[in-house]
Structure 1
Amino acid sequence: MQFYYGHQMPLRILDEAEFWKQQEVEHTVVIRELIPVLEEKYVNALLKWEEALSKTHQKVIRYIETVNRSAYYIPQQLLQSVLQLTHYCLQQSLDFIKLCQQIKTESAAVSKNSTAKVVLDHIIRESEYFVGISQALLYNH
């Protein structure tokens, strides 16, 4: 992500969060579909994550709509709310990464499926990308 957006930066990070939260929602489905014999505890965890990530995705969309309706004027209180939401999204991605790592290392079904390991690594890297850009924004504020 480029950092020359100036006063548009909050909208830019919301755009990123909207995209990556949707990706993470889809990743929960990909994991379940790719590993049909995945242990029930991981399937249930992924279903809960799908719901939680979807709720976060919807919250991000509401913030994008708020910023758009404000004619791109972002009062300090709204900026602080966007930063708090960004921090929440960042932490959520870190926790999702932990689940993916746990599935990769502890699941017997994954241990027998080299494609699943590769896909889980890819999913982890994608969430780490979002973590990186979120940290960069938060550290700059």
Structure 2
Amino acid sequence: MQFYYGHQMPLRILDEAEFWKHQEEEHTVVIRELVSNLEQEYVEALLEWEDALSRTHQQIVRYIESVIRSPGYIPQELYSNVLHLVDFCLRQSLAFIKLCQQIKTESSAVQNNPTAKVVLDHIIRESEYFVGISQVLLAHQQT
């Protein structure tokens, strides 16, 4: 991600978070659909994650609307809240990655489904991408 957005940077950050939280939410469905015989504990975990990611996505959309309504000037409190939300999204993605890795290594249904392993690796890489850009962004904001 480029850092030349100036006063629009919070909106750019939120756009990234909005996109990736929606992706992760969809990924919970992809995993459940791809591995039809997935163990119930993982199905339930993925359903819970789908709901949590949806709530985060909705919160991001509300922040985007707030930033859009602040043309030319974003109050410091709102900017700080955006950064806290991005930090939350980063930590949420790390936990989602952990679940995906657990499913990949511990689910016998996945062990017998080479396509599922490839898809889980792809999902993990995509979430790791969001983690990476979030870490850079948050580090950049502290300097």
Distance 2:70 2:80 in 1: 15
CA deviations over 1:86-105 (Å, ceiling 9, x no partner): 00000000000000000000
How far residue 2 of structure 1 moved from its aligned partner, in angstroms, is 1.2
2:136 counterpart residue number:
136
Q: TM-score when scaled to structure 2?
A: 0.97
SS for the counterpart of 1:71 is coil
List runs of 5+ in structure 2 lacking aligned partners. Answer: none
2:79 counterpart residue number:
79
Deviation beyond 3 Å, 4+ runs, structure 1: none
> Share of identical aligned residues, percent?
74
What amino acid is aligned across from residue 76 of structure 1 in structure 2? Answer: Q
Q: TM-score when scaled to structure 1?
A: 0.98
Distance 2:114 2:50 in 1: 24
Distance 2:45 2:112 in 1: 20
Distance 2:134 2:106 in 1: 28
Distance 1:2 1:77 in 2: 23
Distance 1:71 1:6 in 2: 13
Distance 1:65 1:72 in 2: 14
How far residue 138 of structure 1 moved from its aligned partner, in angstroms, is 0.3
Distance 2:130 2:102 in 1: 19
What amino acid is aligned across from residue 87 of structure 1 in structure 2? Answer: D
What root-mean-square deviation, in Å, do the aligned CA atoms of Structure 1 and Structure 2 show?
A: 0.6
1:53 counterpart residue number:
53
List runs of 5+ in structure 1 lacking aligned partners. Answer: none
What amino acid is aligned across from residue 49 of structure 1 in structure 2? Answer: W
Distance 1:106 1:116 in 2: 13
Residue correspondences, number: 141
What amino acid is aligned across from residue 74 of structure 1 in structure 2? Answer: I
* Change in CA separation of 1:72 and 1:11 when aligned onto 2, cut-off 3 Å: farther
Moved more, 64-73 or 10-19: 64-73
What amino acid is aligned across from residue 75 of structure 1 in structure 2? Answer: P
State whether structure 2 residue 90 is matched by structure 1 residue 90.
yes
